[in-house]
């Protein structure tokens, strides 16, 4: 059986997902695309796919069984609610939405529908290195996790594309989600410190140092540097009671020449997480073909949104900003049962 999908948003990641769904993963066919820019959608459409005039026309089309949302964040809420109203499984790129109230509206609609329909694009959970790290922590031999040091470095971001708070409202959601998932914990508060500003970052608040306070008492520190020049560098190390577990340096060819001995660094997220993106879609296709969703949920998207909001408040207050979540709806499992999802 082949899952017939429609893609909303044919920008940078939309086109990358179209490539992977067309050439890499199986069990799926792209039957429709749409974008505000119709010419861009037409250029990105695989052979035989229809170019729809609007997201709502794509979502309501009988030929579309499941939807992939790759538009920008502020458009996600309306498109997610339309997918839920149509009962269609949907993969939504992060962020789920851009405000707490929008996250609650989407969650309420999905809960009322009675089954999970949404998977959020937190692809790190599908990365084999992160999965092995989590297996070690969950295995318990190192004892309870006490601290997680997370490093998120981008070579650069396009000048003028983002507001000054982009590292906190766009980038941090990945670190917030992976921290909750790795430690099977929730964030209860956030602090932010801004060190000396990088001269390469223009108006951006870059770098930033974020401290996530977890419900268990564990602490997570996150370095976000989005203009670090040398490449895309993701690191993580978990300090536990009886040992430390860390992500490995990526295996790469070792080059020896007149510059010394070195290994290449990924240019960007597409290269570093290429296998993780493939795997997140393999798992999404299986669940969506059964009319539901697995993996990172609306609850996880809601949690990440609250953490980003608290981080933005913490920049202003200079202190600890609490994260207050509603009680977890049964649809998203027991509070401590994050390991399987």
Judged by the rule CB under 6 A, the positions of this chain that interact with ligand NAP are 8-14, 34-37, 40, 55, 70-73, 75, 93-94, 121, 123, 170, 269
Closer of 93 and 206 to ligand NAP (Cβ) = 93
* CB of residue 214 to ligand NAP, shortest distance in Å: 23
Closer of 163 and 290 to ligand NAP (Cβ) = 163
Look at residues 111, 117, 115, 72 and name the one whose alpha carbon lies nearest to residue 94.
Answer: 72
| CA 288/CA 89 separation, integer angstroms | 5
CA angle 112, 281, 152 (to 5 degrees): 95
Closer of 213 and 273 to ligand NAP (Cβ) = 273
Using an 8 Å Cβ cutoff, are 194 and 209 in contact? yes
* CB of residue 70 to ligand NAP, shortest distance in Å: 5
Report the residue closest to ligand NAP, judged by CB: 11
Closer of 9 and 189 to ligand NAP (Cβ) = 9
Closer of 79 and 191 to ligand NAP (Cβ) = 79
**How far is the CA of 312 from the CAs of 205, 210, 315, 317, 321, in angstroms?**
11, 11, 5, 9, 9
Look at residues 5, 36, 100, 82 and name the one whose alpha carbon lies nearest to residue 323.
Answer: 100
Residues 6 or more apart whose CB falls under 8 angstroms from that of 174 comprise: 94, 122, 124, 152
| CA 21/CA 41 separation, integer angstroms | 16
Closer of 10 and 298 to ligand NAP (Cβ) = 10
Look at residues 131, 244, 109 and name the one whose alpha carbon lies nearest to residue 182.
Answer: 131
| CA 49/CA 58 separation, integer angstroms | 11
User: CB atoms < 10 A from the CB of 109, how many?
Assistant: 18
Closer of 176 and 218 to ligand NAP (Cβ) = 176
| CA 161/CA 166 separation, integer angstroms | 9
């Amino acid at each position: 059986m082949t899952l017939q999908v429609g893609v909303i948003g044919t920008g940078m990641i939309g086109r990358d997902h179209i490539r992977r769904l067309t050439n890499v993963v199986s069990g799926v066919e792209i039957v429709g695309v749409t974008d505000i820019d119709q010419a861009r959608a037409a250029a990105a459409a695989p052979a035989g796919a229809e170019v729809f005039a609007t997201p709502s026309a794509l979502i309501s089309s009988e030929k579309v069984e499941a939807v992939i949302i790759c538009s920008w964040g502020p458009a996600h809420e309306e498109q997610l609610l339309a997918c839920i109203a149509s009962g269609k499984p949907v993969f939504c790129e992060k962020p789920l939405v851009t405000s707490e109230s929008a996250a609650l509206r989407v969650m309420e609609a999905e809960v009322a529908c009675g089954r999970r329909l949404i998977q959020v694009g937190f692809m790190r959970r599908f990365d084999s290195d992160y999965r092995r790290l989590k297996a070690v922590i969950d295995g318990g031999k190192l004892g309870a996790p006490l601290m997680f040091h997370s490093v998120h470095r981008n070579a650069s971001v396009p000048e003028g594309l983002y507001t000054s708070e982009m590292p906190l409202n766009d980038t941090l959601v990945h670190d917030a989600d992976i921290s909750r998932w790795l430690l099977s914990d929730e964030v209860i508060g956030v602090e932010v410190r801004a060190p000396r500003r990088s001269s390469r970052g223009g108006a951006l608040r870059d770098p930033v140092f974020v401290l996530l306070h977890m419900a268990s008492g564990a602490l997570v520190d996150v370095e976000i540097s989005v203009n670090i020049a040398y490449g895309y560098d993701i690191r993580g190390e978990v300090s536990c009671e009886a040992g430390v577990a860390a992500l490995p340096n990526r295996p790469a060819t070792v080059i020896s020449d007149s510059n010394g001995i070195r290994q290449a660094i990924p240019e960007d997220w597409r290269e570093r997480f290429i296998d993780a993106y493939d795997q997140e879609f393999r798992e999404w296709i299986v669940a969506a073909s059964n009319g539901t969703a697995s993996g990172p949920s609306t609850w996880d998207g809601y949690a990440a949104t609250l953490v980003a909001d608290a981080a933005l408040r913490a920049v202003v207050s200079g202190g600890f900003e609490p994260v207050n979540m509603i009680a977890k709806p049964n649809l998203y499992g027991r509070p401590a049962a994050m390991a399987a999802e």
